[in-house]
Amino acid sequence: MKKIVGLAIILVIAAAVSPAFAGDTAAGKEKAIVCAGCHGAAGISANPMWPNLAGQKAGYLAAQIKHFRDGKRINAMMNNMVKTLSDEDADNLAAYYSGL
């Protein structure tokens, strides 16, 4: 019983200290090279038709990338750009852009 309580406490502490959203920013930065042409080198787009990504919430960005990839959100440019990305890639890209 003590062991179970101890384990439960450890899990609660682990959940509290780990961020709700964990992407690898450095890996995201590497993947973002191909995105910069439209979304800007620092996530700020020069074209009014292309949205800024810098500072956007990571959870939102990751969801949109996955939606484009899975065809839940349709945009010819974006559907093509992200079709080979994994969930991990999407999370990493989201972490990178949200931190800019």
Q: Which residues bind ligand HEC (CB under 6 A)?
A: 34-35, 37-39, 49-51, 53, 61, 64-65, 75, 77-78, 81-82, 93
- 3-class DSSP assignment, residue 19: coil
Q: Cβ 13 to ligand HEC, closest distance in Å?
A: 33
Cβ neighbors of 43 (< 8 A, separation 6 or more) are: 52, 53, 54, 55, 97, 100
Our CB check for ligand HEC shows the closer of 8 and 63 to be 63
Our CB check for ligand HEC shows the closer of 78 and 95 to be 78
Q: Decide if 58 contacts 95 (C-beta within 8 A).
A: yes
Q: Cβ 76 to ligand HEC, closest distance in Å?
A: 9
C-alpha of 48 from chain center: 22
